[in-house]
Chain A
Amino acid sequence: MADLLELEGVHTDIGQHHILQGVSLRVRPDAVTVLLGRNGAGKTTTMRTIMGVLRPRRGAVRFDGRPIHELPPHAIARLGIGYVPEGQGIFATLTVEENLRVAMLAETADSRERMRDVLALFPDLERYRQARAGTLSGGQKQMLAIGRALVNPARLLLIDEPSKGLAPIVVEHLIGALQAMKRHATVVLVEQNFSMASRLGDECYVMDDGRTVHAGPMAALAADQTLKRKYLGI
């Protein structure tokens, strides 16, 4: 089966800093691909480059075989790529429902049906539907951030560090939700929590100093203590 997403020799700068120094990776459809690596390895920059928030200096990003690295972020999103950024990016002054509505590409019967599904998947969001999103707990905000990515028929979901700063019990709930999402879309997940990553991931890439230094099945990495110690320090 052809790859859904492909990055080929991507170099990205942020200001004067050369962050991505030739990232290459392939994401096959219907799988969860995990990006691992230490802080500052370039994982979030990779996600932002895929979404078009940062434009690569060199290299190519292809979605479904089509180059997308020169498209603006809104055009990339409209191809069917949902993004849950690190730090959630929720709109604190809008209500939970407004956060979900603003994420819809268009307010149709289909998207409203999807919103109802999201509210059923995350009952806390239903309970606080009319509350300002800024008043939610960290876990509820993360549910909302993920829920927003589900109100459109996404083919690919990019999820950046969903478990960051969350209590273990909330992480368990999150894993359940992400496993449900796997059935509907291809997922690229950046995750520092190795236990969570190994439970969800099918394929993995390890990044170091702005490069991909290892690629392979997630199960193989989980079983290889030497590699884990070398690249992840665990």
Chain B
Amino acid sequence: MRRAVGPLLGLALLLLPLTAIEPRAWLTLTVAGLAMGMLIFLVAAGLSLIFGLMDVLNFAHGALFAWGAYAGFTVILLVNGRWGWAASPSVLANAGLLLLAVAGAAVVAFVLGIALERVIVRPVYGQHLFQILITLGATIVLEELIRIVWGPNDQVMPVPTAFQGSWDVADVVVLRFPVLAIGLGVLVYAGMRWLLGRTRVGLIVRAGVENSEMVQVMGHDIHRYFTGVFAAGSALAGLGGLMWGMFNQSIRPSMGGEQLIFAFIVVIIGGLGSVTGSLVGALLVGLSYNYVAYLVPKAAIGVTMAIMVLVLLVRPTGLFGSGK
């Protein structure tokens, strides 16, 4: 019975806006909110694991988000320039282009993540103030590098035709790209749950989130796991950046900073080191933001902050935090 309370409460909160919003608009907003939530989840899940396992406050996570977006953007430009896959009527060509862009974004962010962890994060383990300063410094450097390579202005992100436009489902407009984003988010969540819950690497990472010193004295090289988690978290941020760029059809060098605020709110709401917490927190933020933005546009961010404050008051470790 107690296990059903959470889902029932979630369902009640989901349906609550129906009292003020007309059903068709509610459905459109719900799809947009779920998509926004899933995209924030991609960024927040990595951030949460990095914070939970390594106790590292990584403010450069937002810059990796932007680098992922620009790397994917470059892949799309190159492939599209050569074969014209973005405007192709073939769904296969569109999907192939998207997969190449996803791979490009994830690989670039993964490699940057390894470099950041090895060069600037490793010397400041356990020193939060230095972590904040050095990762903020890295953010400035990485953003300036984007301006040097791609220019300071906004860029229009091409979206393959198969993922543009909308479906009309019983007179309700359902945008295609948000549905794709929701699907990708579900896939990533399932993959992370499998990796953390069903594999030995995941078992060691979960143990490390709780007590990294103990994992080390058991014979596991925690620094290898740290690097792996940091790089995987960075790849997720890069993937999130690409998808966010496609969602808005626009990218800019400072886009990561804006998203990082949402990601930190989600990590605090969900609880450090919890993937499920990140998902629930991200959906809560995505949905509430969209509903409130429709009803009282100026209060959208305020409500997100209010949810965070409320969760902190009721459960300071976050909804799914272990209390580390």
Contact = CB atoms under 8 A, between A and B. Distances in A.
Interface of A: 51-53, 72-74, 76-78, 83, 85, 89, 91-94, 98-99, 101-103, 105, 107, 148, 152
List of 6 A-B pairs having minimum Cβ-Cβ separation, nearest first: A77-B219, A89-B214, A73-B216, A102-B207, A78-B219, A74-B221
Contact of B207 (A76, A83, A94): A94
Interface string B215-226: 111111110000
Given A101-B200, A105-B219, 16 more contacts: A52-B217, A53-B216, A73-B213, A73-B216, A73-B217, A74-B222, A78-B219, A85-B214, A91-B207, A91-B210, A94-B206, A98-B207, A99-B207, A102-B204, A105-B218, A107-B200
Interface string B285-324: 0000000000000000000000000000000000000100
Contact of A148 (B204, B206, B218): B218
A93 B218 contact: no
Contacts of A105: 218-219
A51 B216 CA distance: 10
A102 B216 CA distance: 11
Contacts of A103: 218
Interface residues of B, number: 18
Contacts of A89: 211, 213-214
B18 interface: no
Most buried by B among A72, A93, A101: A93
Contacts of B204: 102
**Chain B interface, DSSP helix/strand/loop, else mixed:** helix
B203 interface: yes
Given A101-B203, A102-B204, A91 B220 contact: no
Contacts of A101: 200, 203
Contacts of B322: 92-93
Contacts of B217: 51-53, 73-74, 76-77, 83, 85
Contacts, number: 60
Nearest to A99: B207
Given A53-B213, A85-B214, A94 B203 contact: yes
A217 B147 CA distance: 72
26 contacts: A52-B217, A53-B216, A73-B216, A74-B218, A74-B222, A77-B217, A77-B218, A77-B219, A78-B219, A83-B217, A85-B214, A91-B206, A91-B211, A92-B210, A92-B322, A93-B206, A93-B322, A94-B203, A98-B206, A98-B207, A101-B200, A102-B207, A102-B215, A102-B218, A103-B218, A107-B200
A40 to B, nearest CB: 21
Contacts of A51: 217
A101 B217 CA distance: 14
B200 A72 contact: no
B202 to A, nearest CB: 10
Most buried by A among B200, B207, B215: B207
A92 B217 CA distance: 17
A44 B16 CA distance: 56
Interface string B176-209: 0000000000000000000000001001101100
A72 B322 CA distance: 28
Given A72-B221, A107-B200, A94 B215 contact: no
Contact of A91 (B214, B216, B219): B214
A92 B322 CA distance: 9
Contacts of B203: 94, 98, 101-102
Given A98-B203, A101-B203, A107-B200, A93 B219 contact: no
A72 B216 contact: yes
Contacts of B211: 89, 91
A84 B194 CA distance: 30
A103 B200 CA distance: 11
Nearest to A151: B218
A25 B215 CA distance: 27
A5 to B, nearest CB: 16
Contact of B210 (A52, A72, A76, A94): A94
Nearest to B218: A103
Given A92-B322, A98-B203, A102-B207, A74 B213 contact: no
Contacts of B218: 74, 77, 102-103, 105, 148
